[in-house]
């Protein structure tokens, strides 16, 4: 079967851009890994993520999921097998919470009973009482609840791969920490490979089984969190780690 | 007022004719506009070319457009309807496309990313979420159709324009006045009707 996700020498340059958004990217993720991708805006982390579900197509190189080259697969089918969560959440405002969660199972033409049961199961998983929330509209939920529904929608068809693009970026810090912990708990209970993009180093180190640090379209370091902190690969990683430490010192001053 | 009382049947007949031209034109316009909208949405390259072409066509004066089409479709109602449908395409397509493009980008990205085909994104997400700007476009097209339809009388298409043009030829102020009033009234009534529909959405 091979790796869950593998990039082989993938390059992508957007028209009119001076340098590639992804520059000869090469990496592999085992099934069940939680990989956080860290970098400042414009470093190519979102580009990398969107190439996995083919919202962007690479100029060169190959991307495989469980050994299959995704460019040879039907694009819509690839996407239905991958969960996708974005910062802006993007719930469908004219669908109820239940209908939002049911979207991929319905696209896959599951039977109605199976869809309904799955929606209830997921609502319970994300801690929203099904009877109370199923028939609400997204506008009637708080930001944190909306992103919970966004996560449930992504998990609905039980995808093996989950892509998350700064999912908690627009959520207040108290709710964010809660959601982080919930997601980690959920991940422990399932054999899913997660790619999680963030620009917050603490989030990256906390969530990732491995952390990928990107700068100017290249992977600068890809390692377990301890090694990132102990042996930063270059000045860029070092400055990232130091920025987190500086923040810590700021708090210590008040204790 | 006297004119209205004496010739009410003639006026009424003209108004009904006018209404017929408008309804047939609007129905055809909407059908054509929907097809063009789907094409433009699925193939963004077509969209730009199509809109510039239609805006060019739209800028041709209606009398000239009628005259151009007489050799093709002849005198009478068919030509009038063809012209009205052509004019409406610019108004409808521009507003329909603006409506579709106005749908929250993140909603469209989520729909695409979760595995909806372009057609599914259009039908299940973009269209239901752009109902209001679309109705707004239809209202503009409707009012414009009512007014351009009067000019169609110049090629024997009938309708309220006949009374207007009669009035102009014979310098009869009450004919001009009643032709205009009824045409305006028709526009207001139809627009009000669509406004009511819009509120219910």
Report which of residues A58 and A255 the model is more confident about.
A58
Section A52-71 average pLDDT: 95
> What pLDDT does residue A167 have?
93
ipTM rounded to 2 decimals? 0.88
- CA atoms of A186 and A121, how far apart (whole Å): 13
Q: What would be the CATH architecture of the domain defined by B2-200? A: Orthogonal Bundle (1.10)
- CA atoms of B188 and B139, how far apart (whole Å): 10
Point out the residues of chain B with pLDDT beneath 70.
Answer: none
Question: What integer best gives the mean pLDDT of chain B?
Answer: 90
The nearest CA of chain B is from the CA of A187 a distance in Å of: 20
pLDDT in tens, A64-84: 999 999 999 999 999 999 999
Residues of A with a Cβ under 8 Å from any B Cβ are 53, 55, 76-81, 84, 86, 88-94, 103-104, 107, 150, 153-154, 163
- CA atoms of A192 and A209, how far apart (whole Å): 12
Question: What integer best gives the mean pLDDT of chain A?
Answer: 93
- Which member of A76, A94, A163 has the closest CB to residue B128? A94
- CA atoms of B111 and A203, how far apart (whole Å): 27
- CA atoms of B119 and B183, how far apart (whole Å): 40
Give residue A12's Cα distance to chain centre: 20
Inform me whether the pLDDT recorded for A169 exceeds 90.
Answer: no
> What pLDDT does residue B8 have?
81
Section A179-194 average pLDDT: 91
pLDDT in tens, B139-177: 999 999 998 888 888 888 888 888 888 888 898 888 888
- Which member of B110, B115, B117 has the closest CB to residue A90? B110
- CA atoms of A158 and A145, how far apart (whole Å): 20
Do A92 and B115 make contact, defined as CB atoms within 8 angstroms? no
> What pLDDT does residue B135 have?
92
Kindly indicate the confidence band of residue A1, based on its pLDDT and cuts at 50, 70 and 90.
Answer: low
Q: Which residues of A205-222 are buried (b: 16+ CB within 10 A; e: fewer)?
A: bbbbebbbbbbebbbbbb
- The helix/strand/coil state of B96 is helix
Contact A93, A114 (CB under 8 A): no
What angle in degrees, to the nearest 10, is found between the helix axes of A143-155 and A112-125? Answer: 140
Six-digit token string for A102: 């049911």
Q: Which residues of B44-71 are buried (b: 16+ CB within 10 A; e: fewer)?
A: eeebeebbeebeeebeeebeebbeebee
What are the CB-based long-range contacts (under 8 Å, 24+) for B191-195?
Answer: B191/B139, B191/B142, B191/B143, B194/B135, B194/B138, B194/B139, B194/B142, B195/B139
Do A90 and B104 make contact, defined as CB atoms within 8 angstroms? yes
Kindly indicate the confidence band of residue A24, based on its pLDDT and cuts at 50, 70 and 90.
Answer: very high
- Which positions in chain B touch A89 (Cβ < 8 Å)? 106, 110
Inform me whether the pLDDT recorded for A183 exceeds 70.
Answer: yes
Kindly indicate the confidence band of residue A41, based on its pLDDT and cuts at 50, 70 and 90.
Answer: confident
pLDDT in tens, A135-160: 999 999 999 999 999 999 999 999 99
């Amino acid at each position: 079967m091979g790796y869950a996700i593998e990039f082989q020498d993938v390059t992508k340059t957007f028209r009119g851009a001076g340098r590639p958004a992804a520059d000869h990217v090469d990496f592999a993720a085992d099934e069940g890994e939680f990989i956080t991708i860290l970098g400042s805006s414009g470093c190519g982390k979102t580009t990398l993520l969107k190439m996995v579900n083919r919202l962007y197509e690479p100029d060169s190189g190959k991307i495989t999921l469980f050994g299959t080259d995704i460019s040879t697969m039907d694009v819509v089918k690839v996407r239905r097998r991958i969960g996708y969560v974005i910062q802006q959440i993007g719930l469908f405002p004219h669908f109820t919470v239940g209908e939002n969660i049911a979207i991929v199972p319905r696209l896959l033409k599951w039977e109605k009973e199976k869809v309904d049961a799955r929606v209830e199961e997921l609502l319970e998983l994300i801690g929203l009482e099904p009877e109370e929330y199923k028939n609400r509209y997204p506008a009637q939920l708080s930001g944190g609840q909306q992103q919970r529904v966004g996560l449930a929608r992504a998990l609905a068809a039980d995808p093996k791969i989950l892509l998350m693009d700064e999912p908690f970026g627009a959520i207040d810090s108290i709710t964010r920490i809660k959601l982080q912990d919930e997601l980690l708990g959920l991940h422990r209970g399932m054999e899913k490979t997660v790619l999680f993009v963030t620009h917050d180093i603490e989030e990256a180190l906390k969530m990732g089984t491995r952390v990928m640090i990107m700068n100017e379209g290249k992977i600068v370091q890809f390692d377990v969190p301890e090694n990132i902190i102990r042996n930063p690969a270059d000045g860029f990683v070092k400055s990232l780690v130091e920025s987190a430490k500086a923040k810590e010192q700021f708090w210590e001053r008040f204790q | 007022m006297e004119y209205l009382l004496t010739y009410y049947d003639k006026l009424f007949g003209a108004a009904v004719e006018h209404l017929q031209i408008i309804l047939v034109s609007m129905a055809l316009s909407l059908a054509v506009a929907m097809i063009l909208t789907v094409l433009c949405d699925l193939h963004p390259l077509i969209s730009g070319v199509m809109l510039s072409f239609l805006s060019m066509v739209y800028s041709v004066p209606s009398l000239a457009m009628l005259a151009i089409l007489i050799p093709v479709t002849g005198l009478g109602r068919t030509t009038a309807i063809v012209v009205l449908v052509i004019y409406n395409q610019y108004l409808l397509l521009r507003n329909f496309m603006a409506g579709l493009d106005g749908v929250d980008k993140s909603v469209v990205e989520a729909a695409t990313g979760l595995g909806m085909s372009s057609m599914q994104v259009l039908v299940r997400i973009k269209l239901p979420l752009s109902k209001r700007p679309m109705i707004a476009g239809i209202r503009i097209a409707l009012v414009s159709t009512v007014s351009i339809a009067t000019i169609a009388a110049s090629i024997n298409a009938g309708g309220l324009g006949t009374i207007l043009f009669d009035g102009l030829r014979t310098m009869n102020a009450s004919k001009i006045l009643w032709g205009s009033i009824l045409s305006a009234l028709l526009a207001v009534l139809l627009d009000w009707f669509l406004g009511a529909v819009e509120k219910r959405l």
